[in-house]
Structure 1
Amino acid sequence: MRDYYTLKINLPGGIVSPGTLQNVLRAVRDANGRQIRFGSRQQLLLTVHYEDLRALEKTLKTQPIHYEVNTDQHPNLISSYCGEDVFRTGVWLRESEYHTVLDQFEEPPRLKVNLSDSNQSFTPFFTGNLNFIASPEPHFWYLYVRPKQSNTVFRWPDLIYTNDLGRLAKAVETVLLERWGQGETAFDEAALYAAVTGTQRFITQPATQEVELPEFSLPYYEGFNRYGQRSWLGLYRRDEQFSVDFLLDVCALCLKTRIGEICVTPWKSLIVKGIEEQDRAGWSYVLGKHNINVRHAANELAWQTEDHTDEGLRLKNDVIRYFEKHDMRTFGLCFGVQTRPKSEVFGSVLVRKRPLIQLGQLALFSVYDLYFTENFNPNSRTYFRFEKGLLKIFLPNQIDRLCRKFSARRWLENGKALRVESEQPETGPETPGCVHQCPYCLTVYDPVYGDDRRGISAGVPFAALPADYTCPTCDALKSEMQEVSLAMITTD
């Protein structure tokens, strides 16, 4: 008999109400659970001892909560809703449209379904089997189909209307699983389209061109950040484990301050939106009470590891230590670690473990292959091998080489613009002025402009700012802001 089981609770679209999460967490605590984690498909994961499993299941069955134990027959439906308002500026896709679509899935899908705004790069576009992407035409969606155990992506000939999306997803799923579920016959795009549209009618428009996706740039998703008149809080844990007691306090504060949703991201982190200015002190108290750090380096946040295993996480931590020691630049890249052959992770740089010698199910010796995606875009389905058969000890150095290759490529692509800019005659003083920059979010305080948000008028030097002045974006302390030359200012 197993000592421990993995229990999974899907959070459709990566959205959960504080009340629902609070009920789950209380049941987990009553079953002697102290830590939970979130998966790359925005689901809640828990390791529970077999002696406590029956009591936990009994409690969960009294609530409308779908869960699975040691299986993944119903992958979570993921969405880019977690970045809504805070990371993108789309035209028509808003909160109401997301909820309209999610409400159409009365039964958990058996295939991976992704819902994405085309104007963001925070969540993956093509990691699902059914990938719906908002089109420029209001309330219509592209559909890209990727059969199970396949890397081939097929664009649906039509744009699908929002109110028909769930019904079409169900029809496509049924045909895919019945005809090509086992991968025994070659996938036929025309046959799939004919089988789905031959018996049902949907509101559609012709899809005359491929979807236009933005250049990848992973936003910094941790800490306090302002948007409009409110703030959002990103929560990341280095070991991917969240304390049940901490999350219960988060839920309680959300309920107290009338925040109706908590968002889970594909990066195994949380985002709480809609924090009012008068409630910031309460959030700071909860973070301090549980000793939660929200100042991790961006290159540590840009990783995706597999669920249900810590092996990829340990490898990530080894590479991160190398990054820190050598002060490496990784801006514009994200990294994935794949230690199992059938798992899937999201990344522009991919580390794949494979056995060098295998006897049956026993791998006697393992090595690592290093890949990068086409144009270093993690949404590409095309991989190029950079190095193969690496020992673990040599892996960080080869990732360093690949990062330098990426940076050199970006420099060459932008070199012309940089040279032209450097040749422009200077109209200002010969010696550029100095400003102070936040080392975390890169916000700049320039005395020429002051800080309108904090009531600081133009012309006030940095030294004259109050001692309790903080970064207007992420609330870093004044003492942490660094003096830099205006000519050398960091903008990325």
Structure 2
Amino acid sequence: MRDYSLVKINLTGGIASPGMLEGILLMAQKAGVKEVSIGARQQLLMWVKADTQRGSGLPSLRESLEAMQIDFEIDTHQYPNIISSYCAQEVFQTGQWLSEGIYRDVLDGFDFQPQLKINISDYQQSFTPFFTGNLNFIASSIPNFWYLYIRQKQSNTIFRFPLLIYTLEISKVSKRLEGILLSGTDLSEEEIYEKMIAQGEIISQLVQEDLVLPQFMLPYYEGFNRYGNKTWLGIYRRHETFEVAFLLDVCKICLDTKVGQICTTPWKSLIIKGIENQDRASWDKLLGKYGINVRHAANELNWQVEDHCREGLALKNTIIREFDQEDIRTFGLCFAIQTRSKSEVFGSVVIKKRKILAGLTQVYDVYHTVDFNPNSRQLVLFEKGLHKTHIAEILQRLTKRYYHRSTASITEKPAQPQANSTSTHQVHQCKVCMTIYDEKLGDSQQGIKAGTKFEELPDNYCCPVCDSEKENFEVKTVETTYQL
């Protein structure tokens, strides 16, 4: 008998109300759980001791969850979580019409537990993946209508459904397609479409234009960040676990200050939105109480490893240390480590473990996606048969290829007929999140007028994005090109 079992609780869309999460955590604490983690599909994961004594361990948690009518799985993955880009809503670049209410309409419409992976994505964000699901709904530019991209299980081939799906039809369409795709029959794209339509009409429109997705740029998602007249807080943990006691205190502050949701992300972090300015001090004290660091470097935040994978996490941390020593830039890239043959990870650079010599030893192969787009399902081999001690060096070479390619794509553009004039001026850039303070523009969010020199800023001035102190800005020279 196993000593511990993995309990998975799906947080639909990566959204948890503080009250519900508090209830789950109290039950977990009673069962002896001290730490939990977030999965790549925004679910809650915890290892629970398989204690046979009544009122403790796994039996206790099972009974409590059943009493609260909370769906869960133990050591199985039959029902993958529905993931969504709601965690990015309001705080990162998003589309025009997709709102909290529409996310709610979509997610509340599911009256069944999907066995297929379903992604619900805003078309303009680049924080959550678009195509890691089997059914990938992506908002179109037409309000309340969605593209649908289908990927059959254990396949990397994606095809676009010929109709735009209406918001309130997403659950119905998902249920129909699940029955079709899990029937055990290999079907063509046309057969899937015909079988779906044969089950009755749906509110839809013909696709009239191709989906255009933004260039991938992972936003800095940690620390205190202002938006409008409020603040959001991103919390990342290097070991990918959160103390139950800490999360219970997070729930308490949310309940006390009327913060309605806690969001989980595919990067295994938390985002708390809607923090009022007068409540900021309470969150500072909470982070201090548990010694939570929210100043990790950006080249550590753009990694994804498999859920509960100590091997992948150890390799990630080793590579990051070497990156730090060599001062390697990774902006625009994201990395993934795959140690299990059938697992799925998200990244523009993918490190895959491969066993050789009848499984007696192992090597690693390094791939990158086509055009370094992490939302592409096509991998290009860069280097194979590596010992893990050489991976960081190979990744440095790969990053150089990426930036050379990016530079070449700029310099190879056709010459413009207009003559150009270039001037330079100095700005100050935050070393943590790369936000720029330009005295020509000032900082309207903090009431700093245009023309205010950096030296004239008050001593308590901080970065408007990551809240980093004034001393963490450095001088940079930028070029501006004018057409004559």
Same-fold status (TM-score > 0.5): yes
Counterpart amino acid of 2:111?
Answer: E
Quote the Cα distance in structure 2 between the aligned partners of 1:377 and 1:213: 11
Counterpart amino acid of 1:372?
Answer: H
**Residue 144 (structure 2) pairs with residue 139 (structure 1):** yes
Q: Which residue in 2 is equivalent to 1:159?
A: 164
Quote the Cα distance in structure 1 between the aligned partners of 2:471 and 2:252: 33
Q: Which residue in 2 is equivalent to 1:183?
A: none
Pick closer, same or farther for the CA change 1:2–1:404 going to 2, 3 Å: same
2:472 pairs, out of 480, 483, 489, with 480
**Is residue 422–residue 479 contact of structure 2 (8 Å, CA) maintained in 1?**
no
Q: Which residue in 2 is equivalent to 1:58?
A: 63
Pick closer, same or farther for the CA change 1:449–1:172 going to 2, 3 Å: closer
2:362 pairs, out of 327, 348, 366, with 366
| SS of equivalent residue, structure 2 residue 352 | strand
Quote the Cα distance in structure 1 between the aligned partners of 2:414 and 2:225: 30
Matches within 5 A, 1:92-491: 92-180=97-185, 186-358=186-358, 363-415=359-411, 424-425=420-421, 434-458=426-450, 460-485=452-477
Pick closer, same or farther for the CA change 1:458–1:384 going to 2, 3 Å: closer
Quote the Cα distance in structure 2 between the aligned partners of 1:366 and 1:414: 40
| SS of equivalent residue, structure 1 residue 141 | strand
Percentage of matched positions with identical amino acids:
51
Pick closer, same or farther for the CA change 1:175–1:457 going to 2, 3 Å: closer
How many angstroms does 1:170 deviate by?
A: 0.1
Quote the Cα distance in structure 1 between the aligned partners of 2:322 and 2:19: 41
Pick closer, same or farther for the CA change 1:192–1:457 going to 2, 3 Å: closer
Counterpart amino acid of 1:466?
Answer: P
TM-score, normalised to structure 1, is 0.92
Counterpart amino acid of 1:79?
Answer: S
Pick closer, same or farther for the CA change 1:154–1:418 going to 2, 3 Å: closer
**Residue 74 (structure 2) pairs with residue 82 (structure 1):** no
How many angstroms does 1:447 deviate by?
A: 4.1
Quote the Cα distance in structure 1 between the aligned partners of 2:139 and 2:457: 45
Quote the Cα distance in structure 2 between the aligned partners of 1:301 and 1:85: 20
Q: Superposition RMSD on alpha carbons, in Å? A: 1.9
| SS of equivalent residue, structure 1 residue 163 | helix
Quote the Cα distance in structure 2 between the aligned partners of 1:128 and 1:455: 43
- Listed as ranges, the gaps of 5+ residues in structure 1 are 181-185
How many angstroms does 1:46 deviate by?
A: 0.2
Q: Which range moved further: 204-213 or 9-18?
A: 204-213
How many angstroms does 1:471 deviate by?
A: 2.1
Q: Which residue in 1 is equivalent to 2:54?
A: none
**Is residue 439–residue 450 contact of structure 2 (8 Å, CA) maintained in 1?**
yes
How many angstroms does 1:192 deviate by?
A: 1.6
Encode CA deviations 1:38-65: one digit per residue, 9 max, x unaligned.
0000000001111111111111111121
Counterpart amino acid of 2:65?
Answer: L
Quote the Cα distance in structure 1 between the aligned partners of 2:444 and 2:194: 59
Quote the Cα distance in structure 1 between the aligned partners of 2:451 and 2:372: 43
Counterpart amino acid of 1:221?
Answer: Y
Counterpart amino acid of 2:39?
Answer: G
How many angstroms does 1:204 deviate by?
A: 1.3
**Residue 43 (structure 2) pairs with residue 43 (structure 1):** yes
Quote the Cα distance in structure 1 between the aligned partners of 2:126 and 2:448: 34
| SS of equivalent residue, structure 1 residue 86 | coil
How many angstroms does 1:155 deviate by?
A: 1.4
